[in-house]
Amino acid sequence: MTTVAPRGAREETATAVTLRGASLRFGERTLWEGLDLDVSPGEFLAILGPNGSGKTTLLRVLLGLQPLHAGSVLVEGTTPARGSRAIGYIPQQKAMPEDLTLRASDLVGLGLDGHRPGVGLRHRAERREKVRAALESVGATRYASAPVGRLSGGEQQRLRVAQALVGDPSVLLCDEPLLSLDLAHQRVVTELIEQRRREAGTAVLFVTHEINPVLPLVDRVLYLVDGRFRIGTPDEVMTSDALSELYRTEVDVLRVRNRLVVVGAEAPHP
Amino acid sequence: MNDNLTRLFTLDGTGQLLGLPFVQSALVAAALLGLVAGVLAPLIVARGMAFAVHGTAELAFTGGAAALLIGISVSVGAVVGAVAAGLVFGLLGLRQRERDSVIGVVLAFGLGLGVLMISLYDGRAANKFGLLTGSIVSVDSTNLWVLTAVVVVVLAVLAVVYRPLLFASTDPDVALARGVPTRLLSPLFAVLIALTTAIAVPIVGAVIVLAVTVIPGAAAARVTANPLTATLLAVAFAELALLGGTVLSLAPGLPISGYVATIAFLCYVGCRLVGRARGQVRVG
């Protein structure tokens, strides 16, 4: 067969992300060690844990910005390199200056080719079409030429999804993308990410400290606490026993109307 | 008082002066500087580097003063001072708070040294004053060639790094995640600013460098969010200020600083008013 399969429609045996015996240390402090993880195409992995447990650092490893102390890491079968086309990245919402000279369409366009040298005069028609399609897919066409600094946090995060997806990635790394959004916008952004996963089989690694907004979508959870970790389905990991063992203190997980409430897992002081 | 006012705005003889070779050299220098300053300005504003540019210009002054004192070319001294300052500021990256205080420290020290060295220098007074206000009418063909070379180098480097630089300047976190070498671009951009500043200081003075590398970008950002339009507008504002300032300063025989700074300032105020009027329309 020589047909070109769209991304995500590849064989089930291929993994999007593979970590083997991965360890990361900063000086004396071990963030995590002996981490074995396989994330399949189309899988939704939530990465949870208190502040300073190395959630964001794990994303930095996958982005090729942070070398491992020991072990190996593969993204789409290759060692992560800066600027990999295979990866889309969604950051948390941050205020942008009101007079920043950047329109919504520019922000998305930079996600496509902002890392390439030059001034961007070549392939303009093709680029414009890709940006247009990405803006449309997140329902941001209406404010395509609005200054990004004047958009609401929810509108900005829609753009972030478009910016991450415009390069057609097979792995989507999300670093607290729902933080500081209201519930309605949390739902919109979550649905956009879920839609991409369903339609293109994109693997999603979703760093969050609040699992409830994504709980129905999560296939597995990676829970990091103070150098220890646990991987499994939400039903396996989000239990009083599992979390008490991770935190080494009494933690209770309560289920209230399809929401999980974790009691007693305050962040240990670093 | 009245005489002074009349002198400020006189245009007597401007026509004849425009025909003189040294005036034409001055206008070419102003146009070249306006081009490169206008192109850099929106990026300087997006990166929040107005204070860094100020620091760089003052350190170019320090370098120029040192050169004056030890008897070497003022231009060489200015380049050394500005590039050294630019590298220090560039390596500080985009962490605003730390950068702010380090620039303050370096600037104060450099300015103090510069004033001391100027005081020790016992040559022509015009040379001393020239470093702060510039003397555009003293531009000779050598200056013009050096200025042209710097403009070509800066524009050539920008042609290669413009897009990643815009990404790193406006959206640093995602730019880093997408593999843009932000750590490399910061000092590179600072050196571009330093080269421009250093060449411009002896010609137009430390004060004007700041007026034309920051104000045009800040003004443009008030009326457009399109990066290309902002760049074109900034170039237009910088040219208007520099060429207009040069022409207006001819007949009175005064330094161009006040004229250039005033035109640039009026561009900024105008853009703020336009931006505000539009903003009210949009919000409804």
How many CB pairs lie under 8 A apart between chains A and B? 100
User: How big is the CA angle at A176 (ends A173 and A179), to the nearest 5 degrees?
Assistant: 150
Interface test with A, best of B47, B165, B174 (most A CBs within 10 A): B174
Q: What is the pLDDT of residue A28?
A: 83
- Encode pLDDT of B138-185 as tens digits: 677 777 888 899 999 999 999 999 999 999 999 999 999 999 998 899
pLDDT at B94 over 70: no
Better pLDDT: B96 or B107: B107
Mean of the pLDDT values across residues B182-199? 90
* Chain-chain contact of A114 with B176 (C-beta, under 8 angstroms): no
Interface of B with A (CB under 8 A): 42, 45-46, 158-164, 166-167, 170-171, 173-181, 220-222, 224-227, 230, 275
* Chain-chain contact of B226 with A106 (C-beta, under 8 angstroms): yes
- Helix, strand or coil, per DSSP, at residue B265: helix
Question: Given phi > 0 = left and psi -120 to 50 = alpha, else beta, which region is B17?
Answer: alpha
Provide the CA B49 distance to its chain's centre, in angstroms: 12
Q: Which residues of B touch A83 (CB under 8 A)?
A: 178-180
Q: Which residues of B touch A163 (CB under 8 A)?
A: 174
* Beta bridge pairs of residue A147: A103
Q: What is the pLDDT of residue B253?
A: 81
Q: Which residues of B touch A116 (CB under 8 A)?
A: 163-164
Q: What is the pLDDT of residue A10?
A: 44
- Encode pLDDT of A4-62 as tens digits: 444 444 444 589 999 999 999 888 888 888 999 999 999 999 999 988 888 999 999 99
- Count how many Cα atoms sit within 13 Å of the Cα of residue A255 in the half-sphere of its side chain: 7
Contacts 24+ apart (CB under 8 A), B179-185: B179/A63, B179/A64, B179/A81, B179/A82, B179/A83, B179/A84, B179/A115, B180/A83, B180/A114, B180/A115, B181/A82, B182/B93, B182/B94, B183/B93, B185/B161
Average pLDDT, chain A: 89
Q: Which of A64, A102, A114 faces B163 most closely, judged by CB atoms?
A: A114
Supply the pTM of this predicted model. 0.89
Q: What is the pLDDT of residue A256?
A: 87
Q: Which of B163, B164, B170 faces A102 most closely, judged by CB atoms?
A: B170
* Chain-chain contact of A101 with B227 (C-beta, under 8 angstroms): yes
Q: How many angstroms separate the CA atoms of A167 and B172, rounded?
A: 18
Q: How many angstroms separate the CA atoms of A264 and A259, rounded?
A: 16
Mean of the pLDDT values across residues B30-39? 94
> pLDDT category, A266, cuts 50, 70, 90?
low
pLDDT at B115 over 70: yes
Min CA distance, A10 vs chain B (Å)? 24
Min CA distance, A222 vs chain B (Å)? 22
Q: What is the pLDDT of residue A193?
A: 95
Interface test with A, best of B178, B226, B280 (most A CBs within 10 A): B178
Mean of the pLDDT values across residues B34-59? 92
Mean of the pLDDT values across residues B44-51? 90
- Encode pLDDT of A116-145 as tens digits: 998 877 788 999 999 999 999 999 999 999
**Of the candidate ranges A239-248, A249-258, B123-132, B222-231, the one whose mean pLDDT is the lowest:** B123-132
What is the ipTM score, two decimals? Answer: 0.88
Provide the CA B272 distance to its chain's centre, in angstroms: 21
Please give the structure tokens belonging to residue A2: 């020589």
Q: How many angstroms separate the CA atoms of B243 and B208, rounded?
A: 13
Question: Given phi > 0 = left and psi -120 to 50 = alpha, else beta, which region is A7?
Answer: beta
Q: What percent of chain A has pLDDT over 90?
A: 68
Average pLDDT, chain B: 86
Please give the structure tokens belonging to residue A199: 């339609």
pLDDT at B136 over 90: no
Q: How far is CA B27 from CA B22, B78, B263, in A?
A: 9, 22, 16
Q: How many angstroms separate the CA atoms of A230 and A244, rounded?
A: 12
Q: How many angstroms separate the CA atoms of A82 and A115, rounded?
A: 10
Min CA distance, A219 vs chain B (Å)? 25
Q: What is the pLDDT of residue A270?
A: 42
